[in-house]
Amino acid sequence: MSGTLTTQAADAGSADHPGAILRQVFGYEHFRGRQGDIIEAVNAGRNALVLMPTGGGKSLCYQIPALLRPGTAVVVSPLIALMRDQVEALRHNGVAAAVLNSSLDAATRFETERRLLAGELDLVYMAPESLLRESTLSWLERIELALFAIDEAHCVSQWGHDFRPEYLQLAELAKRFPQVPRIALTATADERTRQEIRARLLADGCELFIDSFDRPNIRYRVGLKNNARQQLLDFIQREHPDHSGIVYCFSRKRCEETAAWLHGQGLKALPYHAGLDAATRQLHQDRFIREDGLIICATIAFGMGIDKPDVRFVAHLDLPKSMESYYQETGRAGRDGLPADAWMVYGLSDILQIRQLLANSTAPQSQQRLERERLEALLTYCEAASCRRPALLNYFDEDHPGQCGNCDNCLNPPETWDATEAARKVLSCVYRTGQRFGAGHVIDVLMGRETDRIANLGHADLSTFGIGQDLDKKTWHSVIRQLLAHGHLQPDPEGHGGLQLGPDCRCLLRGETTLTLRRDVAVPRKRARGSARIEVDTSAPGWQALREWRLVTAQEENVPPYVIFHDATLAAILDARPDSLAELANISGVGRHKLEKYGEAVLDVLAGLG
């Protein structure tokens, strides 16, 4: 890459304030959320802690101050693949940035160090272990530093799943470089993690910036499992043909099977889990990032460190482990702000399985209580009969007024019914049959069916035999599932699939409370998107031509397609149909550097459309 931004900016003589850099370098018109305030604070030399959801636009919060302040910014990031992509994206905007880590060959490393010492780099990305090496620290002391940005700062928290011991040593930066401002950023929302980041990385004081964790462009849907694979296939074929997506599964085996099955149905799908060797995993991840329209079937091991902005859907074929996991995993959809789907199906067996895991937990009491609370929150979310967003965001201590208009319950409000009587019938039937049998048998007794088992056990003589003929089997199933979700029922501790009365069922049995349940629906289908949502019209003439040009260009440069232009930018280009470079320059996502590099080619593609 020729010429650093510093020289370009000097030429232009105007890019000396945040808004100008935003426009000229990144091609964007407005700051999002609190970006402007954050940039101002860091630019003025203050420390900052930034809590923003995935896709919120954290990178600009340190990239713009890095360009405005004299010296080089050091960005600490835990993942080498991520650093590479970020540096590629910066270079495509004409910014002088480089990676410095153990994966470099000697010549590249030498050249990067030379450029650093010569003050030619605006940003350098490093893994914490490289940064903290004494030799690195001592030559950093010899150059001018603009700031330290500590990305994925939750890695410093021992409570989180991503704890990295090296992050603890980053506390050293405050002592060695007291004059250099530090900005720590994370998308992890819980309070405990925040406190740890502050205590460990910003103990000497910082400004706190918390953005809303709502992701308005993600449409949340939760449905009932009923041949899950087929449901998934229908969903993808109907709503996301040719789109990139992630399907999360509970086990490695299910990842494999699901990927193979989708593949057999003519979709591009690959598995990703810890049981695959490192090379295969890497290959599958690379293909996901570089190709359009690939589906990854993954365990939770997949996703951290992937910046792909155009993941259009995240599907769960099994319940996630917790509300945090669900939020993190679904959050990988729609980073680019365009409409995206979070789609999940679950059923009675999922609840049984998770309740079972919990019951058999050998963790200390206090830990078990936490685990239970987390699970309850997740089940409450699944069974919610009103807007999903309050249930999701309240978990992270954020209020939401509901009626978001972009979740299944808002779009198709579920019917509810008074299930008090039905619930009492189930509970007494479970009790009368001895708290040993699974849902199937309990329903048979309720419905008064003459099965061999009932005959052998003499259950036809029970007072609850046949008291449930007013409802059908599916409805009883639904009642039992919801009773389990609400804790009125629980699985037997031996894990034989038997149902027992849960701790919360007394009031119901005594008639002291009533119970309202939702009527089950399959996952609601797509409806017309609200007008506020910008949609990429993939059938628009020219869309395929632009994407084709982007893919070829990306392959020539050996970068992911979104590094050239985001989908949102391509869509805006198609919409505006510019016929001069000056008009193209006005489109969001087209900075000065990209205009120069790709402008003519884009105009050619547009001209070719006639």
Binding site for ligand ADP (CB under 6 A): 28, 30-32, 35, 52, 54-60, 307, 309, 335-336, 566
Q: Which does 445 bind (CB under 5 to 8 A by kind): ligand ADP, Zn ion, none?
A: none
Q: Which does 518 bind (CB under 5 to 8 A by kind): Zn ion, ligand ADP, none?
A: none
CA dist 105 and 109 (Å) reads 6
CB atoms within 10 A of CB 386: 16
Backbone torsions φ then ψ of 97, nearest 5 degrees: -135, 155
Residue from 298, 404, 442, 445 binding Zn ion (CB under 5 A): 404
Among residues 31 and 235, whose Cβ is nearest to ligand ADP?
Answer: 31
Smallest separation (angstroms) from ligand ADP to the CB of 274: 24
Among residues 155 and 404, whose Cβ is nearest to Zn ion?
Answer: 404
Show contacts with Zn ion in window 532-571 (CB under 5 A).
Answer: none
Q: Which does 591 bind (CB under 5 to 8 A by kind): Zn ion, ligand ADP, none?
A: none
For 74, the token pair is: 């050091």
For 268, the token pair is: 């591009």
Q: Does 342 bind Zn ion (CB under 5 A)?
A: no
CA dist 496 and 356 (Å) reads 10
Alpha carbon distance, N-terminus to C-terminus of the chain: 34
CA dist 265 and 263 (Å) reads 5
Q: Does 387 bind Zn ion (CB under 5 A)?
A: yes
Q: In 3D, which of 524, 526, 545 has the Cα closest to residue 535?
A: 526
Beta strands, E only, 378-438: 416-418
Smallest separation (angstroms) from ligand ADP to the CB of 139: 28
Q: Which does 56 bind (CB under 5 to 8 A by kind): ligand ADP, Zn ion, none?
A: ligand ADP
Smallest separation (angstroms) from Zn ion to the CB of 53: 17
CA dist 247 and 316 (Å) reads 6
How many residues touch Zn ion under the rule CB under 5 A: the total is 4
Smallest separation (angstroms) from ligand ADP to the CB of 336: 5
Residue from 48, 407, 427, 523 binding Zn ion (CB under 5 A): 407
For 260, the token pair is: 């193979």
Mapping DSSP onto H, E and C, the string for 310-348 reads CEEEEEECCCCCCHHHHHHHHCCCCCCCCCEEEEEEECH
Q: Which does 59 bind (CB under 5 to 8 A by kind): Zn ion, ligand ADP, none?
A: ligand ADP
Q: Which does 28 bind (CB under 5 to 8 A by kind): ligand ADP, Zn ion, none?
A: ligand ADP
Give the CA diameter of the chain. Answer: 93
Q: Which does 32 bind (CB under 5 to 8 A by kind): Zn ion, ligand ADP, none?
A: ligand ADP
Q: In 3D, which of 455, 466, 377, 398 has the Cα closest to residue 429?
A: 466
Say what the alpha-carbon torsion angle 173, 75, 110, 107 is, to the nearest 10 degrees: 140
Among residues 479 and 590, whose Cβ is nearest to ligand ADP?
Answer: 590
Q: Which does 160 bind (CB under 5 to 8 A by kind): ligand ADP, Zn ion, none?
A: none
Smallest separation (angstroms) from ligand ADP to the CB of 185: 7
Distances (CA, A) of 180 to 40, 184, 185, 571: 15, 13, 16, 40
Applying CB under 5 A, the span of 296-304, 404-412, 438-446, 520-528 interacting with Zn ion comes to 404-412
Smallest separation (angstroms) from ligand ADP to the CB of 88: 13
Applying CB under 5 A, the span of 76-84, 373-381, 383-391, 483-491 interacting with Zn ion comes to 383-391
Q: Which does 155 bind (CB under 5 to 8 A by kind): ligand ADP, Zn ion, none?
A: none
Smallest separation (angstroms) from ligand ADP to the CB of 27: 8
CA dist 173 and 502 (Å) reads 52
Among residues 57 and 578, whose Cβ is nearest to ligand ADP?
Answer: 57
Q: Which does 54 bind (CB under 5 to 8 A by kind): Zn ion, ligand ADP, none?
A: ligand ADP
Residue pair 76/88 in contact (Cβ under 8 Å)? The answer is no
Q: Which does 173 bind (CB under 5 to 8 A by kind): Zn ion, ligand ADP, none?
A: none
Among residues 160 and 491, whose Cβ is nearest to ligand ADP?
Answer: 160
Among residues 59 and 299, whose Cβ is nearest to ligand ADP?
Answer: 59
CA dist 545 and 552 (Å) reads 11
Beta-carbon contacts of residue 603 (< 8 Å; ≥ 6 apart): 578, 579, 580, 581, 584
Q: Which does 404 bind (CB under 5 to 8 A by kind): Zn ion, ligand ADP, none?
A: Zn ion
Q: Does 410 bind Zn ion (CB under 5 A)?
A: yes
Smallest separation (angstroms) from Zn ion to the CB of 219: 9
Q: Does 393 bind Zn ion (CB under 5 A)?
A: no
Among residues 49 and 429, whose Cβ is nearest to ligand ADP?
Answer: 49
Beta-carbon contacts of residue 190 (< 8 Å; ≥ 6 apart): 324, 396
Among residues 290 and 441, whose Cβ is nearest to ligand ADP?
Answer: 290
Q: What are the contacts of 347-352 at 24+ separation with CB within 8 A? A: 347/224, 347/225, 347/226, 347/481, 348/439, 348/477, 348/480, 348/481, 348/484, 350/225, 350/318, 350/319, 351/319, 351/379, 351/481, 351/484, 351/485, 352/484, 352/491, 352/497
Among residues 52 and 323, whose Cβ is nearest to ligand ADP?
Answer: 52
Amino acid letter for position 298: A
Applying CB under 5 A, the span of 278-286, 307-315, 402-410, 536-544 interacting with Zn ion comes to 402-410
Smallest separation (angstroms) from Zn ion to the CB of 552: 41
Q: Which does 387 bind (CB under 5 to 8 A by kind): ligand ADP, Zn ion, none?
A: Zn ion
CA dist 606 and 540 (Å) reads 12
Among residues 189 and 387, whose Cβ is nearest to Zn ion?
Answer: 387
Residue the block writes with tokens 């604070």: 41
Site residues for Zn ion per CB under 5 A: 387, 404, 407, 410
